[in-house]
Amino acid sequence: MFDLIIRAGEVVTPEGVVVCDVAVAGETIAALAAPGTLAVDTAKRVVDATRYIVMPGGIDPHVHMHHVWTKPDGTPLVTAGPEQVGRAALFGGTTTSIDFAYWRDGATALQAVETRDQDFVGKCPCDWAYHIMLHSEPPPEFSGQLAEALQAGYPTLKIFTTNILPSRTGRMIDFGDIWEAFQVLAKEGGLGVIHA
């Protein structure tokens, strides 16, 4: 039994556009079939997509939701949160957003994820993930903490090779720590996201 059949849409695939039915089970595309070949009684819901384009949801790999920015005059500004941004993303066809878990202030990498979850869990209407953002001088034991986070399913680490602006200090990571991070990323199959 399928949860959804999207019938007779112009489906965008890696090989090109084809008119077909799309069957969905849970959150997975379970089948692509010639229009009308999937029986209506095999799905909980059927949507007629005739004359419509059907494509996978977009992924925005760099967002800052419920993020505090400091304006040049020192006034803090907080960006919109996951509730609002996630809803806007879905209306625009983006179904997944990748934000940042800020690893700083003596917390472990997984504590940074847990802290960020407070802004997202039960609030964000779209799918989300985090890049772990190393945001200050890392603790001596950061390599082990990074490996633990990668093994827990957080495969990317954002690091800064600069402070961005003279007024925004505390972001730059020295090259020795970057080298240590790269060693862990390579061993664990992670990916470095570098702000140069």
Residue 74 has what pLDDT? 84
Q: Are residues 15 and 82 in the same domain?
A: no
Q: CA-CA-CA-CA torsion for 46, 47, 53, 56, nearest 10 degrees?
A: -60
Residue 73 has what pLDDT? 87
Residue 24 has what pLDDT? 97
Residue 164 has what pLDDT? 78
Residue 165 has what pLDDT? 74
**Tens-digit pLDDT string for the chain (196 aa):** 999 999 999 999 999 999 999 999 998 999 999 999 999 999 999 999 999 999 989 999 999 999 988 888 889 999 999 999 999 999 999 999 999 999 987 899 999 999 999 999 999 999 999 999 997 788 888 999 999 999 999 999 999 998 877 777 788 899 999 999 999 999 999 999 999 8
Tens of pLDDT, residue by residue over 123-135, are 999 999 999 999 7
Q: Are residues 42 and 92 in the same domain?
A: no
Q: Which of 19, 38, 56 is the last residue of a domain?
A: 56
The alpha carbon of residue 45 and the mean position of all alpha carbons in its chain are separated, in whole angstroms, by 28
Q: Are residues 47 and 95 in the same domain?
A: no
Tens of pLDDT, residue by residue over 146-183, are 999 999 999 999 999 988 777 777 888 999 999 999 99
Residue 139 has what pLDDT? 85
Domain holding 133: CATH number? Answer: 3.20.20.140
Q: Are residues 180 and 155 in the same domain?
A: yes
> The domain containing residue 45 runs over which residues?
4-56
Please give the tally of structural domains in the chain: 2
User: What global pTM score does this model have?
Assistant: 0.83
Task: Kindly state the helix (H) or strand (E) to which residue 111 belongs, with its residue range.
Answer: helix 109-120
Which residues make Cβ contacts (< 8 Å) with residue 150, sequence separation at least 6?
184, 185, 188, 189, 190
Q: Are residues 65 and 152 in the same domain?
A: yes
Residue 128 has what pLDDT? 96
Q: Are residues 74 and 116 in the same domain?
A: yes
Domain holding 10: CATH number? Answer: 2.30.40.10
Q: Which residues are 2's β-sheet partners?
A: 43
Q: Are residues 48 and 110 in the same domain?
A: no
Q: Are strands 28-33 and 16-25 parallel, antiparallel or unpaired?
A: antiparallel
Q: Are residues 186 and 121 in the same domain?
A: yes
Q: Are residues 86 and 161 in the same domain?
A: yes
Burial of residue 177 (number of CB atoms within 10 Å: 0-12, 13-18, 19+)? middle
Q: Are residues 48 and 76 in the same domain?
A: no
Which residues make Cβ contacts (< 8 Å) with residue 16, sequence separation at least 6?
none
Q: Are residues 65 and 52 in the same domain?
A: no
Q: Are residues 145 and 74 in the same domain?
A: yes
